Amino acid sequence: MMNRLLSLLAVLTVLGACDNSADKADVTDTVEAGEAVYKERCAGCHGADLEGQPNWQTPDAYGTVPAPPLNDEGTVWQRSDDLLFRSIKLGGKAIVPSGFHSDMPGFAQKLTDEQIWQLLSYIKSRWSPMIRARQERMNTN
């Protein structure tokens, strides 16, 4: 039994050291697919360069906040992947704090879960390494 375990560990170690160019290609494909989703579904509100709408930090008279930037300048990176996923799938109303309103629609009927993850991969690919590292900590807490 112990020999089998050691053999399995050795195989996994060798596999881990192998070239992972296929994984890198998968990541590139995922980001490119996410970019296509972003351009079609998100850029109209969040901007072609993820810059968001003007005065995005100031709610209007109805408490509605304009679409925020999705780049380093915004605050979306301060949320976990799970919360970002839910905000896209269910819409902004599902996640904004009391007293705020969001015009962001939910995309549960328009995007598959895979497309939402692709979209998040694209958005995160546009963040600086420092912001990506800080956001990743949100996923581990």
- Measured CA distances, 77 to 22, 70, 84, 137 (Å): 28, 8, 9, 10
CATH architecture, range 27-140 = Orthogonal Bundle (1.10)
Q: Return the closest-CA partner of residue 122 out of 73, 74, 70, 79.
A: 70
Residue 99 has pLDDT above 90, yes or no: no
Q: What is the mean pLDDT of residues 68-90?
A: 95
Q: Model confidence at 14, in pLDDT bands (50, 70, 90)?
A: very low
Mean pLDDT score of the chain: 83
| Pairwise pLDDT comparison (117 vs 27), residue with the higher score | 117
**Prediction pTM value:** 0.79
CA dihedral (12, 136, 123, 71) positive or negative: negative
CB-CB contact of 73 with 114 (8 Å): no
59 phi and psi angles, rounded to 5 deg: -65, 145
Which sequence spans correspond to the domains of the chain?
27-140
CB-CB contact of 30 with 118 (8 Å): yes
